[in-house]
Structure 1
């Protein structure tokens, strides 16, 4: 490259920079006239600093990197997501809406528990980061499928666009892995299954409250396993009928509501119900929110713990994962029982009695 080429390149670069600056100034003037905030205000400071990279010391560069990491951790914070999800009122869940509470919470929105005067079914959501509000309407029963799908598309885009342009949620949302079935080991899964059932039983005995009648779709084979594990776990007799009910509830992720209030809750979908308020059988499946990992295989993102299963690559729900754990434990207990000396003696005694009868 000749010296003249270098000079020409420098001149062109200066012209481009000048045109860019003029364009930026024009955009700022236009946005100012129509009362729009500056574009990416937070990023602008970073660009100004990076223009003179040589003047930045190593610690300052590190600080910029750490700030980006902190910002990303807030987006994918499970604790923050669950806090937002717990804010959604019964009013939001009771009516069909174009977006679920989980979708809204993943995009940084929380429920204000406020409604509009003209449309009491409409819920007002807010963003703690940018302060903007969006309004989530109710879907009318008479609406056609085409209309419903169109409304859903608009709201899916609105979950992003409802934020201010400088808001971090404008272009980001929680990763799907943030809200999923909390995969645990088989051992800890069994411990939770037994502990949650025992807590429910203890509260009912203490408050002299009967266990509820359940509505479920468990087959006879699974019920036999649940009853057997309940018998093996509950060594001491209690003054309570149908204790296996507590174990069925635990199998589907239901935990004790409160030590002094017999009832159940699910911390994943934020559902709560006291037993004394039940007017009909408790539906262990439908009482969960539709997006709850205990009944939704997509949000659960779980796989069977059975190493020999053909379903190893197929996603399953949290309750199906617990059923597989239950099956594994049942097989182990049965084999241990059959190999025990006590069982062999009892079996021999039965055989002798049968021979004497014959």
Structure 2
């Protein structure tokens, strides 16, 4: 009974003792204060019991600080977690790999320069292509950053033109000096151990390859299918402003009929505006988060984006007359590319291209090379189709006389005989090929005989050795 009273009095004294507290006290601190108060009450009761039993206070155990130390560490960890959550972390965009031969990584770095609010156009020697080729990416307002050594640099060309010509000349000289300095910093601004300081990307890395006509046409069809899926937003053909040497009708005739087959609708009617955009490298835009963007096209080389709805006439009557025009006058698929894009820039497309003859012209943008690949594939397909029809032509030759000269009608007109002409041309081509093959084989046999004679002479002119003398005698004796 007395023990219970003493505990109750000690508890009252602990509750009545002043304790500093604030309204912004954390849960960890409140929990720690309550635990410490309970621990003090138990320790006071223990001391009173030892005095009552006559034990000396020197042998009394000391207050254990395990709980208080644990609570302190808990509060410290909570504060650290909160501070880590509120402290902004440095964001490191892009890959940190050194890959001077990776075209995809170069395009990713170039994509960081496309926002006009972050990067304004610069002279050719210090434009975004030169920075991206040396591993730099745009980090913010006129700021570049190396993704490997994390060195940052502000690129700012300030040009202030005065009222006098001398002031303008001075500003131009200052800008030229800054261009020279930044052209040097593209390489020297890296850390001393950064690999981008030693070697950058090659100039030909942006170039599009058309070595395989079949692969180029397959890529064209993929772009065409993506644009056909955005047909409600594709501009009309009269909304497009195509170059004069772009003959869209010829391209439609040169492509195979299977190219325009639509699996969903089952039709093979060409979508001419979609084909025109695909020929210039445009395709549907796909966002990594929301998926396909229905009203936007993009170029995967220069990362340029096009809002298709801006170029399509809003209202057109039955006769094709524009009632409500589009926000933009027309769409030029070539001009909308960025300046360094090989679909537009002939110099960027011709870099690193090896010419096989002096007469071959390679100073062409990528879309012209694509047209040439389509033409080559069409010519090759027609040759194969002609060879496939050759047996029927030969059969027709036995039933008729195609070598006879076509007779003229009484009226003096000419009677066209297309099938006969084609079969004759095919037979002449085959005969010419056979004659050329025979001529080549004859030349090869002649060269082979000359080499054999020369080899025999060289063997016969050698001095006789002991083994050769014995072999000759054995041959003669035999």
Pairwise TM-score range, normalised by the shorter structure = 0.5 to 0.7
Deviation string, structure 1 residues 261-315 (Cα, Å, up to 9, x no partner): 1332111111112312443222211211111122223322379999999316x34
Query: What's the CA shift for 1:326?
Result: 2.3
Alignment of 1:1-358 (within 5 A): 74-91=99-116, 95-98=120-123, 99-112=126-139, 114-115=140-141, 123-137=142-156, 140=159, 148-204=175-231, 208-211=232-235, 213-219=239-245, 222-229=247-254, 232=257, 233-235=259-261, 243-258=271-286, 259-278=292-311, 279-280=327-328, 281-301=330-350, 310-311=359-360, 314-331=362-379
Stretch deviating more after TM superposition (85-94 or 275-284): 85-94
Aligned residues: 262
Measured on the aligned residues, the alpha-carbon RMSD in Å equals 3.9
- Partner of 1:191: helix, strand, or coil? helix
* 1-structure distance, mates of 2:190, 2:197: 5
Larger radius of gyration: 2
Alpha-carbon distance change, 304 to 152 in structure 1, aligned in 2, over 3 angstroms: closer
User: Which has the bigger relative contact order, CA under 8 A and spacing at least 6?
Assistant: 1
Query: What's the CA shift for 1:234?
Result: 2.4
Structure 2 gaps of 5+ residues are 1-95, 162-167, 287-291, 312-326, 390-412, 415-478
* 1-structure distance, mates of 2:217, 2:195: 40
Q: Is the contact between residue 209 and residue 262 of structure 1 (CA under 8 Å) also seen in structure 2?
A: yes
Q: Is the contact between residue 114 and residue 303 of structure 2 (CA under 8 Å) also seen in structure 1?
A: no
* 1-structure distance, mates of 2:158, 2:174: 10
Query: What's the CA shift for 1:201?
Result: 1.1
Deviation string, structure 1 residues 333-356 (Cα, Å, up to 9, x no partner): 677899999xxxxxxxxxxxx99x
Alpha-carbon distance change, 308 to 299 in structure 1, aligned in 2, over 3 angstroms: closer
Alpha-carbon distance change, 254 to 302 in structure 1, aligned in 2, over 3 angstroms: farther
Instruction: Give the TM-score, by structure 2 length.
Output: 0.46
* 1-structure distance, mates of 2:120, 2:338: 12
